[in-house]
Structure 1
Amino acid sequence: MLFHNFVLLGLAPIALAKVQYLGVAIAGGDFGCQIDGTCPLSSVQLAGDGPDQMKHFVGDLGMNMMRLPISWQFLVNNQLGGDLDANNMGKYDKMVQSCLSTGAHCMIDIHNFARWNGGVIGQGGPTDDQFVSLWTQLATKYAANDKVAFEIMNEPHDLDINIWAQTCQKVVNAIRQAGATSQMILLPGTNFDSAATLVSSGSAAALMRIQNPDGTTDNLVLDIHKYLDEDNSGTHKECVTDNVEDFKTVANFLRASGRKGLVSESGASSAASCLKAFCSQNNFINANSDVFAGFVGWAAGSFDASYVLGLTPTKQNGKLVDNQLMMQCIMAPWKNFSNSTIGTPQKPSVQQPTSLSSSSTMVLPPSLVTPTGDMVTIPLLTAAPTVVSKFSTRPIGSDTEMFITTPVSEMTTMTRLFSATGAPPEMPSPTFHPYAINPLGSSSLQTTLPKASGTPGTPGAGPVASGAAAAAGKAAACGLVFIGTLVAMLL
């Protein structure tokens, strides 16, 4: 194919990273829960097609963690301090077993905001012993499976963080003493567990003092949430921040502490502002995988297509199909940061391929590029399942290499020929100029447009690799597909 024609010279290897765990919440067990901890049993809607969704997310997308929200009230049939209800727990366990059958890690999420019907756990509401009883039973049930993760509580708020940390310590002791000695336990802070205040509120410091009964901190992970809308509620369509500064603060704290965190809830709409900001956030999280162990998007499950933050796949022609937000801002950053080797060029190479085949070419339409001055920004389309031209869309195999060219200036010649012939045209002697990409946190690729003389512009600053080097490095080292990271100019 086209990529194999590139000659790589003077390349230094750079290892890229990605979070260990990537997943999505299968919502429904949390439906009806309010931030005061009231969770009516009648509102619970465990996703009937949840097992099929999880098979899709794991089998088709390669995800490896599902978050399964449920209310405390549902599990004990509204009996505070009582035993797990056989009927209700049976329904929830069926979802957990469906998750485990995929091979993914499965997160049990008690979605009560550190409360029961208005009272804060251990601070005037339910006693610590009542809460510990719940977790003792859950840990005993799942002690034999190390792929079950325990999220102590969803989004505590308006409480004394030091007292709450003491409550969490009792829960950790109970989980470990019940025999669940190797499972991940997520430790949530106050203020809805927001990344913006985990450090400043003292939550992170208080929670990082929690230990296992043997004095270690193995598999005790800081729980992290964050939305991108105007009030961090996840209820508005527009995104106003990419959260990078907030996650940078958390990353610095974790790095200095020698600990890890996991982003167990973050989501956005498919508005243009979110496609930019959410992608940027998730690129940053992946680029800092030394301290961020994973990312779980909100949410699929029982949400329908009208939900503003929906990640629920739709069924088309008998198959589950994911929306643009999932593919562009959750899957693409993760797939892009594969454990492969790329090269750092000393000098861009120029090649003159004689032809382009339909299986190796993607022509991006003008609607997908954003020229700004002498720069063009191209969204990362690493999960794109089609070859795209201005006039046609044709399926390609998931194992097909793609070559991206930018439709700037008079690129319409190529798209016209594509439309007329159904395949990219034979090119007698075109000149392609590979441009630099930034693998460390960008949600889009930027390259300098050629000057009027036809001389290629200067690649952007920062840690970069030529598209050709990236393609060949992946193909040669891993036998993997090069998807969406080669930018070239057709002059």
Structure 2
Amino acid sequence: MKFLSSLVFLGGVGTVLAGTQLFGMNLSGFEFGCAITGYCPQGSNVIPPVKSLGGADGAGQMQHFVKDDGMSIFRLPVSWQYLTGSTIGPLSTKALANYDLLMQACLDTGAYCMIDIHNFARWNGEIIGQGGPTNAQFVDLWTQLTTAYADNPFVIFELMNEPHDLDLTLWAATCQLVVNAIRTTETASHIIMLPGLNYTSAGTLVEGWGAAMAGITNPDKSTTNLLLDVHKYLDIDNSGDHTTCVTDNVADTFDPVADWLRTNKRQAMLTETGAGASTSCFTDFCAQNEAINANADVYLAYIAWAAGSVNSTYILDLAPSVKGKVYTDMQMTTECVIEPWKNSTAVAAPAWGLVLPAGTASTSSSTTSTTAKTTATKGATTTKGGSAGSASTSTSSFVSGATRTIVPATPINPKNSASGLEVAGMQVMCVLMAGFAVLTFML
């Protein structure tokens, strides 16, 4: 009877999470060419991860990641220049339609899908709201994007990728204006990601930008669905551009940030992180993601960088290979992205925190196709039978370093771009929770 009593007590504390509520992958390509200066040349630089547009089969990749691996969130980077035809103003009808092909393929999996404006808080070298594009122009961009996805809470709005070298107070004020506009325009409440400074580095959140960005509120002064946006890599300059990992992101970064989040009753998503395929990185990246899952009360998701149209020679390539209808995950994906989530232990969700709405992502992620699995060893991969090609027709239940440049798939490795709700979601232990009423009755 002791065991039953402890279960009832745990249920009384709150929802129980078995690891982060979401985990997934970046689908890179629409942002190719963007430099940290906010210059994003178009044309042949851009290789959308959309098969019909000449890029990778992003739809097939996402279907595989959801059905075979249990992933539940995808980040879809795109440049401001791509969306507006290299001129600040109205969204290009053609460009938005192209981007929406990837968005709808993502939503068709039942996953959460994140719009990431990949401009480093800049437009062609000038800082938003600080001598470059005006706050009104940035607000207009997000008003248009919100209008396009106003009624779909499975679309997450990440205001900007990796702001850096700017005035924090002014940047927070800019983001506040955008949040106000989104809340006024939307017809369903969306999660909004709030990016800080130093390439939104988790390493500088506690002593740097965290308080300012946490001060942003909804128009009603609440902070519901406003999450802090963090990035972190493990190499010498926190860029992800080096094959060797040297940083202890657990003790030095994610444990202190988790404590800060609990103290301030806030939550975050790690929306970009990755590592090269060296022995040190397998050790450190796996340990990092195990720690993220162990702190799932404050970290709602982690999203690895990157699949999509990345080149196979790219240091951070996590795109699965496909032969016929069989997808093969990169070893790093299997061991350090998927396994930490699958092997995570129960964590109680805080009463004040978000528990994400369950949609088709929760059912899709539990459906696994017949697999042919190979034991993963260093230098090997895990092979799973999946469905190659376009996404299925199922629909969602709701309609750092100095040379951070993403370049097209060429023999030259692209540079990585990073330095630095309500009821039960997919990682909630639903069976355990459903039994609490019965257990209480038994007692």
> Normalized against structure 2, the TM-score is what?
0.74
Kindly report which structure 2 residues correspond to 1:210-289, keeping only aligned pairs within 5 A, or say none.
Answer: 210-244=216-250, 245-289=252-296
Aligned partner of 1:178 among 163, 181, 185 = 185
Does residue 1:72 correspond to 2:60, yes or no?
no
Change (3 A) 1:395 1:275: closer
Counterpart secondary structure, 1:66: strand
**Counterpart residue number, 1:50:** 58
Contact 2:328/2:383, CA 8 A, preserved across alignment: no
**Counterpart residue number, 2:22:** 21
Cα distance, 1:241 vs. partner?
1.4
Amino acid in structure 2 at the alignment position of 1:207:
M
Change (3 A) 1:193 1:249: same
Contact 1:105/1:148, CA 8 A, preserved across alignment: yes
Amino acid in structure 2 at the alignment position of 1:233:
S
Change (3 A) 1:394 1:116: closer
Counterpart secondary structure, 2:18: coil
Change (3 A) 1:294 1:395: closer
Structure number with bigger Rg: 1
**Counterpart residue number, 1:385:** 373
Q: CA RMSD in A?
A: 2.9
Cα distance, 1:340 vs. partner?
10
Contact 2:372/2:385, CA 8 A, preserved across alignment: no
**Counterpart residue number, 2:172:** 165
Contact 1:387/1:396, CA 8 A, preserved across alignment: no
Contact 1:75/1:89, CA 8 A, preserved across alignment: yes
| 280-289 or 233-242: bigger deviation | 233-242
Counterpart secondary structure, 1:198: helix
Contact 1:286/1:333, CA 8 A, preserved across alignment: yes
Higher strand share: 1
Change (3 A) 1:160 1:315: same
Does residue 1:316 correspond to 2:323, yes or no?
yes
Amino acid in structure 2 at the alignment position of 1:20:
Q
Change (3 A) 1:32 1:336: same
**Counterpart residue number, 2:40:** 39
* Rounded Cα–Cα distance in structure 1 between residues aligned with 2:156 and 2:317: 24
Kindly report which structure 2 residues correspond to 1:37-436, keeping only aligned pairs within 5 A, or say none.
Answer: 37-42=38-43, 43-47=45-49, 48=51, 49-80=57-88, 82-201=89-208, 203-244=209-250, 245-337=252-344, 385-386=373-374
Counterpart secondary structure, 1:233: coil
* Rounded Cα–Cα distance in structure 1 between residues aligned with 2:241 and 2:304: 15
Contact 1:340/1:477, CA 8 A, preserved across alignment: no
Contact 1:210/1:217, CA 8 A, preserved across alignment: yes
Change (3 A) 1:92 1:339: same
Structure 2 stretches of 5 or more lacking a match? 11-15, 52-56, 349-370, 387-428, 434-443
Change (3 A) 1:77 1:333: same
Contact 1:175/1:181, CA 8 A, preserved across alignment: no
* Rounded Cα–Cα distance in structure 2 between residues aligned with 1:16 and 1:98: 27
Cα distance, 1:396 vs. partner?
11
Cα distance, 1:215 vs. partner?
1.5
Higher relative contact order (CA 8 A, sep 6+): 2
Cα distance, 1:339 vs. partner?
5.3
What whole-Å deviation, never above 9, does each CA across 1:172-230 have from its counterpart, x for those lacking one? 001111125411000000110111111222x1100111111122110000000000000
Aligned length: 348
What whole-Å deviation, never above 9, does each CA across 1:251-275 have from its counterpart, x for those lacking one? 1111001110000000001111100
* Rounded Cα–Cα distance in structure 2 between residues aligned with 1:340 and 1:254: 15
* Rounded Cα–Cα distance in structure 2 between residues aligned with 1:396 and 1:140: 38
Cα distance, 1:284 vs. partner?
0.4
Change (3 A) 1:274 1:178: same
Amino acid in structure 2 at the alignment position of 1:27:
S
What whole-Å deviation, never above 9, does each CA across 1:99-153 have from its counterpart, x for those lacking one? 0011000000000000000000001111000000000000011011110000000
Amino acid in structure 2 at the alignment position of 1:231:
D
* Rounded Cα–Cα distance in structure 2 between residues aligned with 1:170 and 1:98: 30
Change (3 A) 1:195 1:340: closer
Amino acid in structure 2 at the alignment position of 1:64:
S
Higher helix share: 2
Counterpart secondary structure, 1:23: strand
Amino acid in structure 1 at the alignment position of 2:47:
Q
Identity of aligned residues (%): 50
Contact 1:16/1:337, CA 8 A, preserved across alignment: no
Structure 1 stretches of 5 or more lacking a match? 1-8, 342-382, 399-473, 479-491
* Rounded Cα–Cα distance in structure 1 between residues aligned with 2:204 and 2:255: 12
Cα distance, 1:397 vs. partner?
11
What whole-Å deviation, never above 9, does each CA across 1:399-423 have from its counterpart, x for those lacking one? xxxxxxxxxxxxxxxxxxxxxxxxx
